[in-house]
Every structure is written in structure tokens, then in C-alpha cells.
Copies of this chain bind each other. A is one copy, B any other.
């Protein structure tokens, strides 16, 4: 199985062309689109997207990420094995989030031209390198045949925003993504909240959550983490541990992004309730 993340959009036939190349090599490949709506050249956005999605696929899945502002330069292309998943990516930090929670087992450069289309264009390595290499890997080519092994330390990584805890036990993080519902997804997770609260939470029937906190965005304060959207009235603001384990700010039957006039980068505070 192969998943795809790109910044190509779906209006142009670029994604379909990549699939044509993959299926020409491995006609049995099952290809799943994760998203093609990453902002152009937004490596950090892609880093969050792949980290939030890859673990819901079976082991052995090959995840291809083509958000690649360095296409045509001498930036490396890598094939990385992490916890039974394979990632085919430009070496630009797009795996920074994945590797924050799991160390790669092996990292290979992708340099064996025998697996590329020929000639290779300067502007569409998605079609000429990523797609054919993905087809070959999915068909069974072992990744050590792609090129030289390198160490994890040699990989590029991104300096992504990290939440901070102040002396008085307040977490300051930020919105890292706004989804289609207008939910504000932050970089503050449950483990961090437990640090400032020290509570063990309830292990039954759901994730282990400390709810007794105060969440601040701009001038708005939200008291406590909700169990579900319906816990507040229609149109009201709430904070909740979202499906990926991070604090999300939402509006029941509405858009928190609109209500709070907030977006990626907006600061969020969580303090003991």
C-alpha cells in the first residue's frame, strides 16, 4: 500500500500522472491520497500531516511525501524505515514530527538511477523519481538497493515550535493547523498537561485526560476540557483533547477559527484550572 501527500492540489493532473507511473511499474499497488492541499512548499504543514496519519495504516505501508521546494537542486531524497513503515521523502525535514516520537531503523539515500524515469526533469521529481521508486519498492525491491545508507544524524530537521512551561506552571503553545471545520489544533498534548497538573485521570473508556485546566486564546478563557462538542451550547467555544491527542479549540456546530479570528501560529495558554 502507498499513501500520498503533496502540495500539488487536485486541479492539475500531476497527482494522477504520479499514479500512472506507479501503476505502470506495479499494477497491483493500492494508492491512498492523504492530502494534496498542503500549502505550496509548506514543509512544516506536511510534517504535521504525515505524523498525524501514518500510524493508521498497516505496517509495511510506503508513505510518499512530495512537498519539495528543493526539486532540481542537489537536495537528497531519502527512504526511511520507522516502526515497520517506510517513508519516501525529500531530505528537507518533512519527517521531523514522525521522528520526534520514533527513531528510524534505517535511512537510505535514493540515488540508484535504475529505478528512476529517464530522463529526469528538473521540475517534477514526483513523476520522475518518487513515483517510479515507490512503484519498485511496493513491488518488492529492498530499500538497501536504492542507495547508500546514511545515519539519522545526517538527516535535515525542521525547527518546529515547541510548547514551553513557565515557572508558575503555565504552558504556552500555538495553533499548528486549522482543519476544515475551523477547529484549531495546537501543539499541546495530554502528556504535557499532566506535567503541570500531576493528575492521573480516568483510564476507563477513553484517553487519560486531565480536564481541570484553563485554556486561553487571545482574550477568551475556556474553563476545563470538554468530553464532547455537545457539552456546550451551539455556537459556544470549548477545548477538547482531539483525535490526535492534542488540545483542540472548537465551536459546537461552528468554526473556532472564525469565532476567535485565529489561525496557524496563534498563541494558546493552558494553566492549572
Contacts and interface: CB of A to CB of B under 8 A. Distances in A.
B40 A206 contact: no
Contacts of A243: 121, 123-124, 127-128
Interface string A62-74: 0000000111110
A240 B72 CA distance: 11
B11 A180 contact: yes
A248 interface: yes
Given A119-B205, A119-B206, A206-B122, A179 B12 contact: yes
A177 to B, nearest CB: 8
Given A72-B227, A180-B9, A56 B24 contact: yes
B206 A17 contact: no
Interface stretch (A30-38, A87-95, A150-158, A263-271): A30-38
Nearest to A49: B13
Contact of A180 (B17, B40, B205): B40
Interface in A12-63: 12-17, 19-21, 23-24, 27, 30, 32-37, 40-41, 49, 52-53, 56-58, 61
A181 B72 contact: no
A230 interface: yes
Contacts of A69: 229, 253
Contacts of A33: 10, 15-16
A60 to B, nearest CB: 10
Interface string A116-147: 00011111100110000000000000000000
The binding surface of chain A is classed by DSSP as loop
Interface residues of A, number: 68
Contact of A121 (B17, B180, B207, B253): B207
Contacts of A127: 56, 243
A233 interface: no
Contacts of A5: 13
A236 B146 CA distance: 34
Nearest to A16: B34
Contacts of A228: 71-73, 122-123
Interface of A: 1, 3, 5, 7-17, 19-21, 23-24, 27, 30, 32-37, 40-41, 49, 52-53, 56-58, 61, 69-73, 119-124, 127-128, 179-182, 205-207, 227-230, 240-243, 248, 250, 253, 255
